[in-house]
Amino acid sequence: MNTPTFMRASLGNPLFVIAPVCLLLAVVLFSALQREFATTANLGNITGQVSLLLLLSAGQMVVMVNRGFDISVGAVAALSSTVAALAVNQFGTAGLAMGVLAGATLGLLNGVLVAYLGVQPIIATLGSLLAARALARLISDDGQAIVVQGNSILSALSESSWIGAPPLFWLSAGSLVGLGLVLYRTAMGRRLFMCGSNPHAAALIGVSVARSTCLAYLLCGTMAGLGGIALLSRSGAGLPTEGAGLELQSIAAALIGGTALAGGSGSLIATAAGAFFIQTIMTGLNLIGVAPFIAQILFGMLIIGSGFLEKLTHRFFNHHQGLQ
Amino acid sequence: MTYLQYLHSIALATCCLLVSAAHAQQKVIGFAVPNLASSFWITSAFGVDEEAKRLGATVVKVNAGNDANSAQQIAQIQDLVQRKVDAIIVGATNGDAVKAAVEQAVKSGIPVIGLSSPPNSSLLAAVVSADHYDMGRMQARCLAKALAQKGSVAMMAGPSGQLWADQRALGFKETLSAEFPAMKVIAENRLGDNRNAALNVAEDWLQRFPEMTGVYAATDDMAAGVVSALKAGKAQGRVKVSASNFSPTSQQMLEDGDLVCTSIQQTVTQGRVAVRIALDAVNKKPIPQTKIALPALLVTQDNLREVDLGSVVAPAQYRP
């Protein structure tokens, strides 16, 4: 029983279909329940809201492919929004690059800790989570928001609209395409999947597993840095204390997107669909106006449900593959 | 037959009119709350709910979950705009961070009212809050009375960069220096901003300042930490503690005589007033006063039973 080649190319793995299907179902459901949901205005709304999570979950997916976790992404995004805000106030729009650089630096730090010093991912990234939070408070007068004064480019990124979505969304989507090119079109990227799938075998054929792991965290940190720019653009301020809970949302998005916890397999498109699914649920529940605690319970149940679904599908397909 | 048909159509038309009138009356108010796990916001949500019910409006509440969830609150305010609510009441996670989202809402024609921690925008229809300065002043007067207008006082001043904490501390200090010159402030701490942290700071104070006779606490939670430290350090009775805010914790401490007083804000009333102004703004009525600071109340062991708590606390069975 062979999957046709074109399907393998487009879907790769049956698990990658779950997120797009869930997203579609959520859209249909909310459109039926609330007439303000299926509007172009709300499309612009959701695409703007999802930009941050999109960037973070894409980065998270890369480290998960590499059998890791990065729980520092929220704190790193907060730090990089703070750095970027300070730099923009000093040097103008070009200062945004400093924010991305801050993210990349922390990503590199995580990478070195995990890949070369052998620290467990959860320990390493917990350490940098705390360090990033403290650093952000340190440079911001104990956690005060850093307001960016009169930068019209930054606010236009999230307030104007290009083809139905704020420019910020297109920039995020563009970053994902860039990340996709690195992952799927370069030898470096392919090695990353290889090391996640079977580090021992990869090492045997001469691939540097440590370098791949380090690269994964560097990419994740860079995406978190870009996330900080999204945060800054949407709030108009650097937010040093922001972002608790974002790491879990990004992990959830990657999981719903079919990223294997065991490493070696992940799809950027499916992960993006996972992020969209989470944002759609949150926005949809807000539009319906259910009591806030009910919304949180529902959200928790959805995460558990998706984990369960992943397990079931995994078992089902493994079973079928075993029959081949 | 025609007559009947005529009657019928009149009845139908009246019916339609009534229904549409009722429909038009049913205004929807969005309420963006930073954290519905905190007793303060639960209490103001109660005020908002009750007043909306009384005036026939619907409330849609969204909860950011935490003061450090500004991105969440921005998205939630945008969702309320999408939902085309008639007005939005905002208790900001961070006044600067949600400014842009709030101003987008105002520009799309939705009046926004700031509640207690307002968005940092000049486009708000009104801001409703407590008179925090007055709360600090009340603490100064009651602590002075308990200490016979002399002695050394330490201040558990609350988190830095929070307007309410700054205002309360300022009210306390200025009143002491103006009205009770024989009392002096020996320490001011801004890190002990929860129960456990306040406990640790107060223990250090007991070691360092044997002359300390009074403690100002910016909240009742911090006061609870201070009281624990005093009990452990056998300094209870020798050192008097005053606080702000009202909760079952401070109620118990007042009954036990651990606190000399607590100055409290009318949290339920704040929610009620915000709803009234929101509906006035929706109906294009003039809003005579756009900065409303509701006066504080002082609760001591003596008047604990008499104070009307209806304006202060939500009933225990209320769920937001």
Q: Do A236 and B71 touch (CB under 8 A)?
A: no
Give the range of the structural domain holding residue A30, as residue numbers without chain letter. Answer: 5-323
- What are A57's two structure tokens? 């979950």
Regions of chain B with pLDDT less than 70: 1-25, 161
pLDDT at B9: 52
Beta-carbon contacts of B208 under 8 Å, excluding residues fewer than 6 positions away, are B187
A9: confidence class by pLDDT, cuts 50, 70, 90: very low
pLDDT at A319: 59
B147 and B31 part of one domain: no
B183, part of any domain: yes
B159 and B191 part of one domain: yes
Kindly state the greatest CA–CA separation across chain B: 98
The answer on pLDDT for A203 being more than 60 is yes
B126 and B172 part of one domain: no
Identity of the residue in A39, A235, A286 whose CB atom sits nearest the CB atom of B97: A235
pLDDT at A7: 35
B140 and B247 part of one domain: yes
pLDDT at B161: 67
Q: Do B79 and A235 touch (CB under 8 A)?
A: no
B301, part of any domain: no
B218, part of any domain: yes
Q: What is the CA radius of gyration of chain A?
A: 20
User: pLDDT tens digit string along B229-242?
Assistant: 999 999 988 999 99
Q: Do B320 and A283 touch (CB under 8 A)?
A: no
Chain A, 196-215: which have a CB under 8 Å from a chain B CB? none
B300, part of any domain: no
The answer on pLDDT for A170 being more than 90 is yes
Q: For residues A18 and A230, which has the higher predicted lDDT (pLDDT)?
A: A230
The torsion region of residue B35 among left (phi > 0), alpha (psi -120 to 50) and beta comes to: beta
B124 and B164 part of one domain: no
B121, part of any domain: yes
Average confidence (pLDDT) over A130-135 = 95
Give the range of the structural domain holding residue B73, as residue numbers without chain letter. Answer: 8-130+267-293
Q: How far is CA A193 from CA A54, A197, A212, in A?
A: 20, 6, 9
A136: confidence class by pLDDT, cuts 50, 70, 90: very high
d(CA B154, CA A67): 52
**Touching check for A282 and chain B: CB below 8 Å?**
yes
Q: Do B82 and A42 touch (CB under 8 A)?
A: yes
B81, part of any domain: yes
B156 and B79 part of one domain: no
- What are A47's two structure tokens? 């695409």
Q: Do B71 and A242 touch (CB under 8 A)?
A: yes
Buried b (16+ CB within 10 A) or exposed e, B189-198: bbebbebebb
Number of domains within chain B? 2
CATH of the domain at A220: 1.10.3470
CATH of the domain at B167: 3.40.50.2300
B308, part of any domain: no
Averaged pLDDT of chain B: 89
B125 and B273 part of one domain: yes
| End-to-end Cα, chain B, rounded Å | 54
User: pLDDT tens digit string along A269-322?
Assistant: 999 999 999 999 889 988 888 877 777 787 678 778 767 776 776 677 665 554
What's the angle, vertex CA A205, arms to CA A201 and CA A210, rounded to 5?
75
B95 and B163 part of one domain: no
- From edge to edge, which strands make up the β-sheet containing B183-189? B183-189, B151-156, B212-217, B240-244, B261-264, B297-300
B199 and B271 part of one domain: no
B159 and B184 part of one domain: yes
**Touching check for A133 and chain B: CB below 8 Å?**
no
B91 and B213 part of one domain: no
User: pLDDT tens digit string along B36-95?
Assistant: 887 789 999 999 999 999 999 999 999 998 778 899 999 999 999 999 999 999 999 888
Q: Are strands A237-238 and A146-147 parallel, antiparallel or unpaired?
A: antiparallel
For B163, name the nearest residue in chain A, comparing CA atoms only.
A144
Judge contact between B199 and B222, C-beta under 8 A: no
Judge contact between A40 and A96, C-beta under 8 A: no
CA B147 from centroid of its chain's CA atoms: 29
B307, part of any domain: no
Number of domains within chain A? 1
Q: Do the interacting molecules here have an ipTM over 0.90?
A: no
For A232, name the nearest residue in chain B, comparing CA atoms only.
B97
Averaged pLDDT of chain A: 88
B258 and B229 part of one domain: yes
